[in-house]
Structure 1
Amino acid sequence: MRMQWISWFLSSKGNEYFCEVEEDYILDRFNLTGLNTEVQHYAQALDMITDNLDEEIQDDLRGNLDLQARLLYGLIHARWIVTARGLAKMVRTSTSLVMHPDPPPPRHLARPQLEKYKRADFGRCPRVLCQSQPLLPVGLTDVPYEKSVKLYCGRCEDIYSPKSSRHGSIDGAYFGTSFPHLLFLVYPNLIPPKTGPVELGLPGRGGEVDSSRRSRRIREEQEAQAEGVGEGMSTASVASKADRYRPRIFGFQVNEIAKLQRWQEAVRDRQISRLEELEENA
Structure 2
Amino acid sequence: MKKTKKKSTWIHSFCALPENEFLCEVDKSFIEDDFNLYGLSTTVNYFSECLNTILQIPQQTIYPLEIQNEIGVETKKLYGLVHARYIVTPAGLDKMIQKYQNTDFGVCICVKCNEHPLLPIGLFDVFGKSKVKFYCPCCNDTYNVPRAFPSYILDGAYFGTTFANLLLMQIDEHPKNEFNYVPRIFGFQVAPAHYVRPTEYKDFFGRKSFFHC
TM over 0.5, yes or no?
A: yes
Amino acid of the residue matched to residue 176 of structure 1? G
Residue identity over aligned pairs, in percent, reads: 37
Going from structure 1 to structure 2, the CA distance change for 1:179 and 1:64 (only over 3 Å counts) comes to: same
Name the structure, 1 or 2, with higher relative contact order (CA <8 Å, separation 6+): 2
Report the secondary structure of 1:183's partner residue. Answer: helix
Structure 1 segments of 4+ aligned residues over 4 angstroms from their partners = 225-228
Residues 1:230 and 2:202 are matched in the alignment: yes
Shift of 1:5: 1.5
In structure 1, which of residues 5, 24, 43 is the aligned counterpart of residue 29 of structure 2? 24
CA distance in 2 between partners of 1:187 and 1:6 (Å): 27
Where does residue 210 of structure 2 map in the other structure? none
Where does residue 52 of structure 1 map in the other structure? 57
Check the 8 A contact 1:81/1:179 in 2, yes or no: yes
Where does residue 163 of structure 1 map in the other structure? 146
C-alpha deviations, 1:33-58, integer Å up to 9, x for none? 00001100111111111111327522
Amino acid of the residue matched to residue 169 of structure 2? L
Unaligned runs of 5+ in 2: 1-5, 180-196, 205-212
C-alpha deviations, 1:179-225, integer Å up to 9, x for none? 1100111221xx1431359xxxxxxxxxxxxxxxxxxxxxxxxxxx7
Residues 1:148 and 2:131 are matched in the alignment: yes
RMSD, aligned CA: 2.5
Indicate the larger mover: 140-149 or 120-129: 120-129
TM-score (norm 2): 0.77
Where does residue 136 of structure 1 map in the other structure? 119
Provide the aligned length of Structure 1 versus Structure 2.
182
Residues 1:183 and 2:167 are matched in the alignment: yes
Indicate the larger mover: 68-77 or 53-62: 53-62
Where does residue 107 of structure 1 map in the other structure? none
Residues 1:33 and 2:33 are matched in the alignment: no
Where does residue 278 of structure 1 map in the other structure? none
Where does residue 187 of structure 2 map in the other structure? none
Check the 8 A contact 2:97/2:167 in 1, yes or no: no
CA distance in 1 between partners of 2:87 and 2:56 (Å): 22
Unaligned runs of 5+ in 1: 91-112, 198-224, 234-244, 246-282
Going from structure 1 to structure 2, the CA distance change for 1:3 and 1:144 (only over 3 Å counts) comes to: farther
Check the 8 A contact 1:3/1:51 in 2, yes or no: no
Where does residue 191 of structure 2 map in the other structure? none
Shift of 1:159: 0.8
TM-score (norm 1): 0.59
CA distance in 1 between partners of 2:139 and 2:126 (Å): 26
Check the 8 A contact 2:132/2:154 in 1, yes or no: yes
Check the 8 A contact 1:3/1:49 in 2, yes or no: no
Check the 8 A contact 1:117/1:135 in 2, yes or no: yes
